[in-house]
Structure 1
Amino acid sequence: MTYPTGEQYEIRHGGYRAVITEVAAALREFEHDGVALNPGYPATSTPPWGSGIVLAPWPNRVEDGQWTLDGKEQQLDLTEVSRHNAIHGLLRYTPYRLVARDDASVTLAATIYPQHGYPFIVETIVTYALSDSGMTVTHTATNRSDAPAPFALGTHPFFRIGGVPTEELVLTVNASTRFDVDERLNPLAEVPVDGDYDLREGRAVGELELDTAYGGVATVEGVVATLRAPDGRELRVLQDDAHGYVQVFTTREFPLFDAAGEREGYGLAVAIEPMTAPPNAFNSGLGLHWIEPGATWNGAWGIQYAG
């Protein structure tokens, strides 16, 4: 059978199990000893709300899909038509090729070729690897063009802790600033976190309604965010120094599926998205990497679970 997300790559180590998709190199399933750590979706579905996909060569939005290169305006395809923006990069519907695979890891690659608004060739590689401590996800990007290429990266994983209602999970994010946005969710200014946006002491996910980029990240032993269940179980999201930003997104319209993969309604879900740059980085320059011809950029993030 041919699935909407292509081949499905299952990896295992100890109690951990994950399924990565060929299309968009998405984290479709993730669990530990049968405890689901993401909401998941069946192989017969496309990723709801971009669940688990890789975002390159930019995460989030480019306002109006427009930016300037060497004094010349570039126009990206508008992929968020309702808000007139270009969103989540150029690999969302791209099949990755298999580079390497063993029981506990899989490495996939996809090349960004010149297209509307992005006249560069960038080879990207992502490795998902399981260990006793959890999952590590490493990314590289190599510029195969003859001019410096702008590049930023993000991922879009949703998380849960088994059958605990997402409303009851407490979310902590180690970030001191956020990006205020306009009605099209494009950034206006980076401001200190306050009120409902301040997650440094933890807030119940059920109280939140966010589609918010955070800066001022100060990881604690690499941890940028945690989800804690009432019984003390905890999921931790880690970022390296290359990832200076994180997006938190909540939706009450995430599709729920039964054991047979049939949709049975909608519910609350929370995404914690490691990012190397904030929204509209192609215009602001914040966190944007210019990769020299032949050079390679790399970064990593990860997930730990304390049961």
Structure 2
Amino acid sequence: MTSHSTSRDVTGEHLHLVHELDAPPAEVFRHLVEPALLARWFGPHSVRVPEESVVCEPFPGGEWNLVMVDIATSTPYPVMARVSEIVPPRLLVCREIDIEADDATFNGLRLRIELHEHDGDHTLLELRQGPFPADTTMAADSAEGWVQSFEKLDAVCGAPATPAPQEAAGPRSGGPGPRPPGQYRVNVNTPLPTGTQHVLVHGTQRAVIAEVGASIRTYSVDGRDVVLPFDETTLAPAFSGAVLAPWPNRLRDGLYRYEDTTYEVPLTEHDRQTALHGLVAYARFTPPADIAPTSTSVTLEHELVPTPGYPWALLVCATYTLDDAGLRVHVATTNLSSANAPYGIGFHPWLSPGAASVDECTLRVDAVRHVTVDERLLPTGTEPVAGPFDLREATALRGIALDDAWVDVTRDEDGLSWIVLASPDGHAAALWSDATMDTWQVCTGDGIPRIERRGVAAEPMSCVADAFRTGERLVHLAPSATHEVTWGLALL
């Protein structure tokens, strides 16, 4: 079998590894849960795992235990864990037990292994583990152990081995009997707040699209972040990377009138008494049955059900694709209702300055008119760009705080309008939008929890704030009609 390199990301108390295997997910999954197969590859090169020490109970609450034995000294190193979630042949989540504790309690260390189809019959194995104790080398040491384990897995996975059993192996005496596959997806721990993670890889580019909000959770090129990443175990901070529909930005008082009827949606920004960023930023988006994810592209959709405040059914379908030019996003929204629907859309990635601070960067925004606002950040009009709002040329951000919109965008010879955050490292995190959107929002994140001016939100939008009330750039989506937009990210 071919030996592949492993992508490593060891940050603080967590590690994240991605490794390609020349076998389909079903075969790789067997090597995670069948004792004879797990013993063949688990642990660094300096240890062996006796098959008789391995216990794998493939159901939530089951044991996942083994003993690594140092080949030189015969010193045993037990590993004890409990399965908290299992979805054959895609997902295994375990929590490690502190065997030194008197009550053998969980030590908080969590192992998550996801298997993704890749290039036909290959697999991308994605592993996350943590949190490790702070101010130690344990995360890095564990990463090295996993890398060596994967080298062994390369050699055995897909090689002739024991035939797959006809039914799931039963647990040890005294435990519950074999579980049918339909019962496997049971969570003992709280589900991830970001949902399923869809990993895209193209060359040195890597993106993770989260199920919740169809959010761009990470996007990097050659290890350099293009957007501010956030952890899968936390809620997305400040709408990071999310789809904003059926309206972007703010809606005054959560009230609007459309075709002679007044509607009210819940307020989500109470200090300004506005409804912010639509209804789907924290909704689940799932792959449609007829479009399978690949290693470079994933399509996710969400059907917005009618509510008293927005009584139209919409199907929002977002496709994310990595290619040589970067990350491309295309969203098509179809009105499933029998009446016209008011509609707008936007997106909320936070551009990353890399290792620099925002104050060390410059910003360019391709637009010639700035949107003026009141004390609630709701539009009052537009004005020609001037002073700190004239960002047509790269402008130093030190001393400039923004939460502003621009219209009358300018475009290059390819018909694209850009926002470019340039850093001292010689790179620039950049976002482009084609002719399907003509409005920008930019925010430097001052005072926003978990952002605190660490990045710059570059938000392409089809309309400005409060469009449901003003009608400015509002889309009137007819029954069965589809509205489409396209934008993208790149590291320049």
**Cα displacement string for residues 101-132 of structure 1 (whole angstroms, at most 9, x for unaligned residues):** 10001110001111132110110000110001
Q: Counterparts in 2 of 1:17-166, with a 5 A limit?
A: 17-99=206-288, 100-166=292-358
RMSD: 1.6
2-structure distance, mates of 1:7, 1:118:
27
26-35 or 218-227, larger mean C-alpha shift? 218-227
Determine the structure 2 residue equivalent to 1:15: 204
Determine the structure 2 residue equivalent to 1:260: none
2-structure distance, mates of 1:107, 1:234:
27
1-structure distance, mates of 2:347, 2:195:
19
1-structure distance, mates of 2:299, 2:436:
20
Q: Counterparts in 2 of 1:255-274, with a 5 A limit?
A: 267-274=453-460
Shift of 1:230: 2.7
Q: Does 2:379 align with 1:187?
A: yes
Shift of 1:11: 0.6
Shift of 1:147: 0.6
Q: In the superposition, relative to structure 1, how do residues 20 and 254 fare at CA in structure 2: closer, same or farther (>3 Å)?
A: farther
1-structure distance, mates of 2:410, 2:218:
28
Q: Does 2:445 align with 1:251?
A: yes
Structure 1, unaligned stretches of length 5 or more? 257-264
2-structure distance, mates of 1:277, 1:266:
26
Shift of 1:255: 6.2
Determine the structure 2 residue equivalent to 1:169: 361
Aligned length: 298
Higher relative contact order (CA 8 A, sep 6+): 1
1:35, 1:161 within 8 Å by CA — same for their partners in 2?
A: no
Shift of 1:158: 0.3
Secondary structure of 2:241's counterpart equals: coil
Select which of 468, 486, 490 maps to 1:282.
468
Q: What TM-score, normalized by structure 2, do the two folds share?
A: 0.59
Shift of 1:268: 2.9
Q: What TM-score, normalized by structure 1, do the two folds share?
A: 0.93
Shift of 1:160: 1.3
Determine the structure 2 residue equivalent to 1:238: 432
Determine the structure 2 residue equivalent to 1:229: 423
Shift of 1:190: 1.6
AA of the residue aligned to 1:229:
S
Q: Whose helix proportion is higher, 1 or 2?
A: 2
1:128, 1:138 within 8 Å by CA — same for their partners in 2?
A: yes
AA of the residue aligned to 2:431:
V
2:247, 2:278 within 8 Å by CA — same for their partners in 1?
A: yes
1-structure distance, mates of 2:287, 2:429:
29
AA of the residue aligned to 1:46:
L
Shift of 1:97: 1.3
Q: In the superposition, relative to structure 1, how do residues 16 and 254 fare at CA in structure 2: closer, same or farther (>3 Å)?
A: farther
2-structure distance, mates of 1:69, 1:297:
19
Secondary structure of 1:18's counterpart equals: strand
Identity %: 37
Q: Whose strand proportion is higher, 1 or 2?
A: 1
1:219, 1:239 within 8 Å by CA — same for their partners in 2?
A: no
70-79 or 226-235, larger mean C-alpha shift? 226-235
Q: Which has the larger radius of gyration?
A: 2
